[in-house]
Amino acid sequence: MTTFSERVERISISGIREVFEAAGDDAINLGLGQPDFPTPAHARRAAVDAIESGKADAYTENKGTLGLREAIAEKHRADQGVDLDPGNVIATAGGSEALHVAMEAHVDAGDEVLIPDPGFVSYDALTKLAGGEPVPVPLRDDLTIDPAAIENAITDDTAAFVVNSPGNPTGAVSSEADVREFARIADEHDVLCISDEVYEYTVFDGDHRSPIEFAETDNVVVVNSASKLFSMTGWRLGWVYGSAERVERMLRVHQYAQACASAPAQYAAEAALRGDRGVVDEMTASFERRRDIVLEGFAEIGLDCPTPQGAFYAMPRVPDGFVDECIDRGVVVVPGEAFGENGAGHARVSYATDEAQLREALDVMAEAFEAAR
Ligand SMILES: Cc1ncc(COP(=O)(O)O)c(C=O)c1O
């Protein structure tokens, strides 16, 4: 009988799904990882036009349309000041596929990949699918990624380390000094830094910086996506960029696994990148207001929480049983251990939910905290 690959047997369906399934239909869901805004009208329009004119009927270039890749290159020139050749960009099926091709192209069987713990669930799973060994690296107490901890964890077997700012599940934003350190570590130790920047535009305090701005070698690849930048999670359009050599290897994976990203989504993302960014500012301002509501609520409850500076997640320290008490009362939050062992004792609260529901959920969390304490 055909059995299953050892690689696939090492991973399982994300723990987040189980939490959703445990909650009733009328629960307030603070477990979701997507902005609660519509996709910008000009992006939708571009996809409709592309479909109606027949432009979206055929495969595009494997890397994606030149128009989209030029828009991506201009974005990174404007935002990071990097001199990005559109030839060194691959449009992918979301940031998820971008992470996948980066891992497949760089990780050999038995290689170690350093991942933040707690960190986004895909880093562990994609490392295992590539045959590698994830090595969880603890965060600082303020939930930022610690360059010193990464440097200490590097061995002769390290193929790559993953950094993610603004961070999921933490909302933490790395300082410029830390980001410079990520670049230095990639250069000096000659290991690849995979920088996941999908929440780049959702920063409240300070600025988003990328290690690719500071690296002197080509040891950084950047993953980004229209999903969170423009509230386009359903469109499945992300991208990865790096040196020509790295992109050529990642393209080999992308070409056989995907052929090309969905054409209508490519036209929509190009329009989002080139169009009015008012909606991005509006989203960021709205998430910042909600961040403040959540932090105030936590303070009243007595929940200790490092101040998230970006994305739309907060990660308070919670007593044992808190998550179950919340779910029993109809509020879904995700247990921190779904994101790695060091997430234990925390919960991830997504505040991409309207303010009225957030306030209601905070009242419920106060009761859950009393019950669990
Ligand atoms: C940190 C991080 N990276 C990547 C992704 C993948 O996003 P997508 O595939 O929708 O672009 C997510 C989605 O939640 C995320 O939180």
Using a 6 Å cutoff on CB, does residue 165 contact ligand 1?
Answer: no
How far apart are alpha carbons 82 and 85 in whole angstroms?
9
- The pLDDT of 250-260, averaged and rounded, is 98
Q: Which atom of ligand 1 is nearest to the CA of 225?
A: 11
Domain containing 52: what range?
41-274
The domain boundary residue, chosen from 256, 274, 292:
274
In a domain, 335, yes or no: yes
> Are 122 and 93 in the same domain?
yes
**For residue 42, how far is its CA from the centre of ligand 1 (angstroms)?**
23
The domain boundary residue, chosen from 239, 274, 309:
274
- The pLDDT of 241-261, averaged and rounded, is 98
- The pLDDT of 354-367, averaged and rounded, is 96
> Are 69 and 156 in the same domain?
yes
Using a 6 Å cutoff on CB, does residue 120 contact ligand 1?
Answer: yes
**For residue 97, how far is its CA from the centre of ligand 1 (angstroms)?**
9
The domain boundary residue, chosen from 224, 259, 274:
274
> Are 194 and 241 in the same domain?
yes
Spatial CA neighbour of 224 closest among 23, 110, 68: 68
pTM of the model: 0.97
CB atoms within 10 A of CB 66: 14
Phi, psi of 40 (to 5 degrees): -55, 140
pLDDT digits (tens, 9 = 90+) for 108-130: 999 999 999 999 999 999 999 99
Using a 6 Å cutoff on CB, does residue 198 contact ligand 1?
Answer: yes
> Are 117 and 203 in the same domain?
yes
Using a 6 Å cutoff on CB, does residue 339 contact ligand 1?
Answer: no
How far apart are alpha carbons 166 and 146 in whole angstroms?
14
> Are 120 and 257 in the same domain?
yes
> Are 48 and 179 in the same domain?
yes
Using a 6 Å cutoff on CB, does residue 195 contact ligand 1?
Answer: no
Mean pLDDT value across the chain: 96
How far apart are alpha carbons 370 and 320 in whole angstroms?
11
Per-residue confidence (pLDDT) for residue 13, from 0 to 100: 85
**For residue 238, how far is its CA from the centre of ligand 1 (angstroms)?**
9
Spatial CA neighbour of 169 closest among 146, 193, 145: 145
Per-residue confidence (pLDDT) for residue 32, from 0 to 100: 86
Per-residue confidence (pLDDT) for residue 244, from 0 to 100: 98
> Are 142 and 282 in the same domain?
no
Using a 6 Å cutoff on CB, does residue 65 contact ligand 1?
Answer: no
Using a 6 Å cutoff on CB, does residue 211 contact ligand 1?
Answer: no
Domains held by the chain: number: 2
- The pLDDT of 188-206, averaged and rounded, is 97
